Amino acid sequence: MASITLVATDKIIDKIKKFYAEQEINHKNPHASFIAKANNCTITIYHSKKVLFQGKNAEKEGALWSDIQSKKISVHKNKNLPSTTFFPHIGSDEVGTGDYFGPMTVCAAFVDDTLRKQLEPFQIQDSKAMTDRYICEIAPKLKEIIPFSFLILPNEKYNQINRSGYNQGKMKAYLHNQAILHLLKKLHCEQNPPKIIIDQFAEKGVYYNYLKDAPTVAKQNVFFETKAESKFLAVACASVLARYGFLQKMNQLSAQWDIEIPKGAGNKVDQMAASFIKKHGIEALEQVAKLHFVNTEKAKKYL
């Protein structure tokens, strides 16, 4: 049986534990602090900071972590690029869920080592840390470089689904799952997916419970990670493309309804919602806003 041993730093050990947390198994080995079984490989972390990878894919799994550890210095040179990552992987993220106006968008993106190099000039980071102007500048180029799947849930559909009993979490789960499935199909790797990282918005159990009636659910090699857009390049790319799609739709809505449609969900949004109602009537709000937000009631008070 193949085996690889690595002496890891505390930081890498933390990352390994976090990464395989879902596959951790109970054990009675007094010398080990953690054992997981994943991808035909047993990963054992010893108190001595040795990490043992054993099994059919030992070399593959072990190489991921030894690469990250040895590349530590060069990766840190560029603080803008997510560093705790390995390739290839798929990442998915959503945008527009906290904005009263505008759609919800979700994107899944794929990055491998070759694509990573092509992306370097763009200095991609979490879309929340990039200006909208810069996102609009680089997103069209990104689209030409990486495989991705983008989904948009327009307001009318959002409100309709919401009324039928879907909360926002369930909508997100459906869109993430669908974007991932589309992308796996595009890449012809449904049977053998790379690691898939979902920017975590719900606990794993809750996520899969939302999807209990979905016809197909991507589960193999799926991981959930909070703040993943700042840790995984594919998630960062997905967040950029999701934001870009959201911004484009916001511009389109502003032009269509001849009113400057604001982002967010603050006081300014309530006032604009009131102006919108005055101009186009309350029924039209269905097509531009997420009606279940408290902003709807607040806007009515302005009238």
Residues of this chain that interact with Mg ion (CB under 5 A) are 93, 199
What are residue 103's phi and psi, to 5 degrees? -80, 175
Distance in Å, CB of 198 to Mg ion, minimum: 9
Three-class DSSP category at 154: coil
Query: Least distance in Å: CB of 279 to Mg ion?
Result: 33
Closest residue to Mg ion in the complex (CB):
199
Q: Which residues of 201-225 are buried (b: 16+ CB within 10 A; e: fewer)?
A: bbeeeebbebbeeeeebbeebbbbb
Going by the DSSP 8-state scheme, the letter that residue 205 receives in this structure is H
Q: Judged by CB, which is closer to Mg ion: 162, or 200?
A: 200
Nearer to Mg ion, 175 or 261 (CB): 175
Q: Which residue, 167 or 267, is less far from Mg ion as judged by CB?
A: 167
Nearer to Mg ion, 99 or 199 (CB): 199
d(CA 232, CA 122): 15
Closest to Mg ion by CB, 94 vs 270, is 94
| Min CB(199)–Mg ion separation in Å | 4
Residues 6+ apart with CB under 8 A from 161: 153, 171
Q: Are 127 and 142 in contact (CB under 8 A)?
A: no
DSSP H stretches of helix in the chain:
10-19, 58-70, 72-77, 113-119, 132-145, 155-163, 168-186, 204-210, 233-257, 267-280, 295-302
Coil, strand or helix at 203: coil
Q: Smallest gap, in angstroms, from Cβ of residue 230 to Mg ion?
A: 10
Contact of 247 with 207, CB cutoff 8 Å: no
Residue 35 vs 236, nearer CB to Mg ion:
236
In angstroms, give the least distance from the CB of 93 to Mg ion: 4
Cβ proximity to Mg ion: between 34 and 223 the closer is: 223
Smallest gap, in angstroms, from Cβ of residue 51 to Mg ion? Answer: 30
CB of 204 vs Mg ion, minimal distance in Å: 15
User: Are the beta carbons of 57 and 37 closer than 8 angstroms?
Assistant: no
